[in-house]
Structure 1
Amino acid sequence: MEPQRRKVAGPVAPSSMKAARKSFMVTNTYVKNLTPDKEIVAVHTSAPSIEHRSHHSAQNQIYQGEVNVLSIIDTNKDIMCCKYTEDTREIAAGFTDGSIRLFDCMNGNCTHTLMDDECRSYPGPVTAIKHRPVSKAHPISNTILSSYVNGCIKCWTYKYNQCIYTIREKRQTLGLCYHPRFTKFVTYGDDAKLNIQRKGIIDGHTSRIFACVFNPKSHHELISGGWDDVVVCWDDRQPFATKYFTGVHMCGEGLDFDKPGKQILTCSWQDKDSIQIWDYGSCKLIETIVPDNHNCKLYCGKLVPQTNLAICGDRMFNTE
C-alpha cells in the first residue's frame, strides 16, 4: 500500500514554540442533564510569576455544568503532557526543558522533580508520560515511563527521584503507549516507524506518527496514526501491517479502542469529520459525530470507560 498525504501537515511543538498553556487543573467531574438556561461562568485571574502555586479560581477558563475544580497549578514553563500516577494521588507534568514535576492532587504542591544529568546536558521537551497497567499481576510500582524529543525513553522511580534505565533512539521520539493489560509498550516518532519490544520489519506509515494504542482484547494487536492520513492496524506476530483505513489526519493522541476492542475512536486535526467511530474488523466508518455547530481541529481524544461518552481536546488560539 502507498498511502499519500492529502493535507498540509499539522503543527509541531519544538522547544522554542509555545505548545501548551502554562497551567493545568485537577478536577472531579461527572455528567448530568443540563437545562437550556444553565449559566456559563467565566473567571479571570492574573498569572503568577512563580511556579508551584495552587489556587481555587480558574485562569481564563469557561466551564459549564457540574465541575468541581480542586486546584489549578500555574507554572513558569510550557507543559507538553501530563499523567496521573498509578494510585492517582499525584499528577506528573512534562515540560519543554526536559523536566518532569509531580504535583499533589489535593493541594497542588510540587512533590518531586525528575531530571538527571543527561536531561540537563541535552534537554529536550517531554513528549509523553505513561505508567504500566495496574492489576493483581502488576501491582503499583511507583514508576513512570517518559519519552523525549531528543530520542530518550526513561523509566523513573519518582519516590526517589531516580532514573532506573534509559533507552536511546536515533530519532525524535514523539510518544509511547503501554498495552492496557501487559507490561509491553510501543514508541513512535518522526521516522514513521513503530518500535515494539522485539525488532521486526516495519511497514505502513510515510510520515510522523503521533498516536498509537493497543487493542485491549488482544495480546498482539495495535493501531497507529499520524500525518499521512492513515490509521494502520498491526499485529506484532506479523512482519507487515495487517490492514488500514484513510482520511484521518492526526497530530496527537487521537486514537482509542472501546473496551470490547471492536470499535475505534479517531479525533483528527482537520476541519470536517474530526470525530469518527470505525469498525475494527472491517475498517469501515460507522459514524461521524458532530459535537456542536463549531468545527474544531482536534489534538486528542479518548473513550470514557463504562459509558457511551468520549472526551476530546483541541488547541485554543488567541486572536486578539
Structure 2
Amino acid sequence: MAGGYGGAMAIEGGEEVASFGTGTKRIRSKYTVNPGYAPVADCFCVRFSPDDQYLATSFANGAIHVYSAETGRQEFLLNGSPPNTELSQTPLPTTQLRWRPHAAASKTQSVLISVNAEFDGQIMQWHIKSGKCLHSIVEKGNQIFCLDYFNDGSQFATAGKDRLLRVYDEATKRQVMTLQGGDMKETAGHSNRIFSLKYHPDDPNIILSGGWDNTVQVWDTRKGISVKSLWNCYICGDAVDISSDGRQILTGSWRTENALQIWDFASGKVAQTVDWESASSKSPCMLFAAQFSKDPASSMILAGGSQENEAKFFMRQPGAAPVPFGALVSMPKPVFTVDWSIGGKYAAVGSADGQVRVLEVV
C-alpha cells in the first residue's frame, strides 16, 4: 500500500486507487483505456463531452481517440491510424482538445476542436461521427499548446509558444483579436510560453492564461491587454481554472512547495494553499494539471503531476480548507491531464504512459 494512504485498492499496472478521510465521497476504478501505440504515445489531453456521452483523448503522436464515457469502448479515431500500422505515428502532437459547447449557434453537434505543436500550429475542428475535419486554421510560426471556448460557443481562443492570445469568431472561423502586453505598470503580459487558457464562465471579455513566466494573466478583450497578474505560479500544463461562479481561480504549479493554490479573482491574491501530503514524504507532487469540478459550487478539485506520479481528489467546503478524499497513486509515469465529467460522477486521468484511467466518484 502506497505511503500510508488508507483504504487502497490495487488496480491494473501497479498503481492504486486510495479512498480516505472522514467525508462521504469515495473513488473507485471504472476502466482504463490504452490505445497500445509502440513506442508509447504520451496522453496530453482528456475531455468529456458536454453531454457526458463521450471521452476524447489526444496523444503525442497526433491521434485523437474518442471513447464511450460510460463503457470505455472506442467509438471514433481521428487524425491517426490504428496502432501497429505504418501511419500510426505522425509528427504533430495534439496538445489540447475542447468540445464545442452545445449552445453554439451551429446545428452540427458532436464537434471537437484540437490544436497541435507543429512549428506552424494548426487548429482543427472535427465532426467526430463522420471523422471529417470541418475546418483547419494555421497560426504561422506559433506552436499551439492550449485553447478554450467561451461557454456559449460563440468564440474560442488559443495560445502557445509566441506568448500571444488569439481570439476567433466561431461562426466565421476568423481571428478577430490578438491580445498581448499589459499596462506596463502592474501588468506586462507573458514573457514565455503559455500552457493553459480559460474563459471566465460569465464574461466572454475575460480570459485567463498561465505559463512558464511564473504568472497567470487576466486579459480583457475590450482593452486588448492584460489587466491583472497573479504572481509566483509556474504553469507547465493545463493547470489554470476558474470556479463556476467566477470568484476563484485554481492554479497547479510544477514545483515542490505550494503547488496547488486557490486565488481570489477580485484581488488577485492567494486565498488558500492546499496541503498536498504526497503518498511519499520524500517526493512531493509537481503539478501539470488542476481542475475544479463543473458543478455550480465547484465543490471538488482534481490535480496531478510528476515526481510523485499521482492524481488527487479534494472536497471543498465553505470556510474550510479543501480535504483530500481519494488518490490514484504509484503510477509508472507522470500525470499530464485531468478532467471531470459535467455531472461530476466520473473523472479522467491521462498519463505519460499512454493510458487513460477513468475513476468513479461515489
TM-score range, shorter chain: 0.7 to 0.9
Q: What is the match of residue 268 of structure 1?
A: 253
1:239 deviation in Å? 2.3
Structure 1: how far apart are the matches of 2:129 and 2:5?
47
Q: What is the match of residue 191 of structure 1?
A: 162
In structure 2, stretches of 5+ residues that fail to align are: 20-25, 82-86, 169-175, 182-188, 310-330, 334-362
Q: 1:202 aligns with which of 171, 177, 180?
A: 180
Structure 2: how far apart are the matches of 1:175 and 1:107?
28
Q: What is the match of residue 27 of structure 2?
A: 67
8 Å CA contact retained: 1:201, 1:239: yes
1:39 deviation in Å? 2.7
Q: What is the match of residue 30 of structure 1?
A: none
SS in 2 for 1:59: helix
Q: What is the match of residue 74 of structure 2?
A: 110
Percent pairwise identity: 25
Larger RCO, structures 1/2 (Cα 8 Å, 6+ apart): 2
Letter matched to residue 101 of structure 1: H
After superposition, residues 21-36 of structure 1 pair within 5 angstroms as: none
Q: What is the match of residue 23 of structure 1?
A: none
Q: 2:99 aligns with which of 124, 131, 138?
A: 131
Q: 1:99 aligns with which of 39, 63, 74?
A: 63
Count of aligned pairs between the two proteins: 269
After superposition, residues 14-53 of structure 1 pair within 5 angstroms as: 38-43=6-11
Q: What is the match of residue 301 of structure 1?
A: 290
Structure 2: how far apart are the matches of 1:165 and 1:261?
31
Change (3 A) 1:273 1:139: farther
Q: What is the match of residue 238 of structure 1?
A: 223
Structure 2: how far apart are the matches of 1:277 and 1:167?
35
Q: 2:112 aligns with which of 144, 154, 158?
A: 144
After superposition, residues 163-202 of structure 1 pair within 5 angstroms as: 163-170=133-140, 171-197=142-168, 198-202=176-180
Structure 2: how far apart are the matches of 1:307 and 1:201?
28
Structure 1: how far apart are the matches of 2:65 and 2:33?
11
Q: What is the match of residue 357 of structure 2?
A: none
Structure 2: how far apart are the matches of 1:273 and 1:157?
41
* Higher percent of residues as strand: 2
1:85 deviation in Å? 2.6
Change (3 A) 1:108 1:211: same
1:116 deviation in Å? 7.5
Q: 2:242 aligns with which of 248, 252, 257?
A: 257
8 Å CA contact retained: 1:230, 1:245: yes
Q: TM-score, with normalisation over the residues of structure 2?
A: 0.68
Structure 2: how far apart are the matches of 1:122 and 1:74?
18
Render the CA deviation track for 1:64-87: whole Å, top value 9, x for unaligned: 234343322222232221222333
- Greater CA drift, 175-184 or 146-155: 175-184
Render the CA deviation track for 1:245-300: whole Å, top value 9, x for unaligned: 21000101111111221211111111111111111112112121112255321011
SS in 2 for 1:188: strand
Letter matched to residue 188 of structure 1: A
Q: 1:155 aligns with which of 110, 125, 134?
A: 125
In angstroms, what is the RMSD of aligned CA positions?
2.6
